[in-house]
Amino acid sequence: MALAAGRIRHTVVFTPRHAEGSPEEADFLAAAAQLAAIPGVEAFELLRETSPKNTYRYGISMEFVGAAEYAAYNEHPDHVRFVQERWLVEVADFLEIDYEAR
Amino acid sequence: MALAAGRIRHTVVFTPRHAEGSPEEADFLAAAAQLAAIPGVEAFELLRETSPKNTYRYGISMEFVGAAEYAAYNEHPDHVRFVQERWLVEVADFLEIDYEAR
């Protein structure tokens, strides 16, 4: 489904520091999946990254109705806590990519 | 809509060599949009990339039912010609990222 005008698709590709398939990685991914519960988050997906042309292992994709909802997500205590306590500690490499309709 | 098992979401973020908003850029993007017509391509999107955390300017996202359809797209003469005659000449920087369901 094409991205409607004004909507924002926020994505991030990443590789956990944990060994692939390890219980520690599974625990981190389970914590990341909880981001879907933060208000404003729509179309949440936690996916495998499978291109041989980069080294990222997973991706998260979510959509927001607009910039205000995206900002509220970024500032939400559950997001801030996840970034501080899990993401910055357990992610080795990542890249954020956001899309909007042309 | 969540990515169904077996489906592949092929994405690429990129920056044309052309000046932003130039007629040359518009012509390149129009040519890129024609990739949507290649058999097997589903859910095609040509989007602006808007995160301040990377330097890519646009993104393309498309989905395939499976690996055979993705391979057929890669080998399709219209795709091969576009890559050789336009992409490799007119794109300054890009990154391919592919997603599959976990």
Structure confidence by residue, pLDDT tens digits, A68-80? 999 999 999 999 9
Per-residue pLDDT, averaged over B6-27, amounts to 98
Chain B residue numbers touching A49 (CB-CB < 8 A): 97-99
How many whole angstroms separate alpha carbon B51 and alpha carbon A10? 8
Residue tagged 């808007």 (tokens): B50
A36–B contact, CB cutoff 8 A: no
Nearest to B16 by CA among B5, B27, B4: B27
Q: What pLDDT is stored for residue B93 in this prediction?
A: 98
How many angstroms away from the CA of A52 is the closest CA of chain B? 9
Indicate yes or no: CB of B101 within 8 angstroms of CB of A61.
no
Per-residue pLDDT, averaged over A44-59, amounts to 98
Residue tagged 């910055």 (tokens): A88
Assessment of whether the complete model's pTM goes beyond 0.90: yes
Q: What pLDDT is stored for residue A1 in this prediction?
A: 61
Q: What pLDDT is stored for residue B1 in this prediction?
A: 61
Is the torsion defined by CA of A39, A44, A49, A53 positive or negative? negative
How many angstroms away from the CA of A53 is the closest CA of chain B? 6
Strand B58-64 versus strand A91-101 pairing type: unpaired
Per-residue pLDDT, averaged over A44-73, amounts to 98
Per-residue pLDDT, averaged over A55-64, amounts to 98
- pLDDT beyond 80 at B23: yes
Residue tagged 């990685």 (tokens): A25
CA A76 to chain centre: 14
Q: What pLDDT is stored for residue B2 in this prediction?
A: 83
pLDDT, tens only, B60-99 = 999 999 999 999 999 999 999 999 999 999 999 999 999 9
What is the pLDDT of chain B when averaged over all its residues?
97
Q: Which residue of chain B comes nearest to A55, CA vs CA?
A: B97
Q: What pLDDT is stored for residue B56 in this prediction?
A: 98
CB B34 within 8 A of CB B62: no
Q: What pLDDT is stored for residue A46 in this prediction?
A: 98
How many angstroms away from the CA of B11 is the closest CA of chain A? 10
Indicate yes or no: CB of B97 within 8 angstroms of CB of A59.
yes
- pLDDT beyond 80 at A66: yes
What residue type is A27 in one-letter code? D
Indicate yes or no: CB of B45 within 8 angstroms of CB of A95.
no
- pLDDT beyond 90 at A24: yes
Q: What pLDDT is stored for residue A2 in this prediction?
A: 83
